[in-house]
Every structure is written in structure tokens, then in C-alpha cells.
Amino acid sequence: MKLLVFQHLACEHPAVLRNFLKEDGISWDTVALDEGQAIPALESYDMLWVMGGPMDVWDVEEHPWLVAEKRAIRRWVRDLKRPFLGVCLGHQLLADALNGTCGPQRPPEVGILDILLTDAGKSDPVFSGLPHKMKALQWHGVQVAQPPENAVVLAHSDVCAVQAMRIGRHAYSMQYHVELEPNTIPDWGKVPAYEKALAKVRGPNALQGLAREAEPLMPGFIANARQLYRNFMAVAAPATAK
């Protein structure tokens, strides 16, 4: 199995999901789009993951590579119909690439907040075995305002209607950060755009408080990530079989 990862910032990598990939003996190629790396031939890969980043889906003048990325996502999901996993910005890019819409998240969601599965999410195989209400890290000021046609909404929060969605049989995306690991919050707190968003919502010097809040919840975060990863890989397996 060959995995391709689209990355938009060095510290926004698959994080704890890397441990599960290692356990399964799966290697991956990363395209650092923000560093100018080119997207390789998609046909060479079985699975595509698209991670988060500080830019917005409409920032195409500042980040022109977003145009090619969205085109690649569209082709991957619509034409190649291969397994896809998007996180945060990756969730928004999936919606935008498939003619959904994204807009400002008001109020921004930054912190450890509740995610609730929809009825569709409760019966979806990728969310099997996960709590119907769970804590998750949020750090976003943009949301999927209108999901693409035929998208199935799998989770929501009090202020964000599309926290997770499925398109087709095995294209999944989440607004929240399922990949969280112990050093994620300290690392992201060093990114000016993330620090600004955190301070706006939680006040100055909020980073340490957020890290302390996450610490006792980390075993649960990792257990949920492992369960979702295992479920996703099981759903993806038939599509990646040669």
C-alpha cells in the first residue's frame, strides 16, 4: 500500500497516526506544498491524506498551489475513487474541491470541545466503536458552510454543523484534530496564526492552560485516533487491494 500525504506546514503532519502506520509497516510520501514541492502522479498511490494548515481555502493568490491541490483532490475522489482522509484544512479543501462552500466560523472553535455523532455517524463503519459524544481538539476559524452534493454529515458540534463527513464509499474528512499527540499543542502554539487564534478565543498566555487541559485526556484522544484509524483502514482495504 502506498500513501500520499499533502502537508501545508511542517508541524501539521499525521502526528499520532504515524505510529499506527509504522505498526502496519506502511510508508508514505509527503508533499510539502507550502515549500513548493510538486504533486506527483496520483495513479502511483493507493491512499491520500490531506492535513491541516494556517491558510484558508480561498487564499489562492497568496498560496497559488492551492489551485493544483484542489484539482488533485477532485480528481482523486471523483475520478480515481480511492480512499481519502482530510483533517481540518483537508476537510475544508475536500468540500471546496467538490463544489461545497466554506466560510468563517463564528465564533471560532479553539480548545478541547465536544463532538457529537449524527445518526449517520453512529452507523458509519469508520466511527464504529467510538463514543457518540467525545472530546476533541479544535483550532479553526473557517468551517464547511455547505457540504458537497451527496455528502453525508457524520458529526457536528454546538457551533459547527459539519464536523465530519463522508463522500462516496471511502472519502472521509474531519474538522477536528483526530491526529493529536502530546507535543501537538506546544508545537502549534509556536505558529503565529495559531497563537493569535488561541489568544483571541481564550485570552493571552492560554497555551499552557490548553496543554494542561489536554494532558489527562490524551489517552482517550489516542485511543479514539487508533479506533478511527483501524476502522478507516478496514474500509479502505478493498479499494486498495491489487
Furthest-apart CA pair in the chain: how many Å? 52
* Positions marked active-site: 88, 177, 179
Q: How far apart are CA 141 and CA 88, in angstroms?
A: 10
Q: How far apart are CA 9 and CA 43, in angstroms?
A: 24
Q: How far apart are CA 192 and CA 101, in angstroms?
A: 26
Question: What would you report as the CA-atom Rg of the chain, rounded to the nearest whole angstrom?
Answer: 17
Are 39 and 69 in contact, with CB atoms under 8 Å apart?
A: yes
In terms of phi and psi (left: phi > 0; alpha: psi -120 to 50; beta: otherwise), the region of 103 is beta
Q: Residue 8, Cβ neighbours under 10 Å: how many?
A: 24
Q: How far apart are CA 126 and CA 231, in angstroms?
A: 5
* SS3 state at 40: coil
To the nearest 5 percent, what fractions of the chain are helix, strand and coil? 40, 25, 35
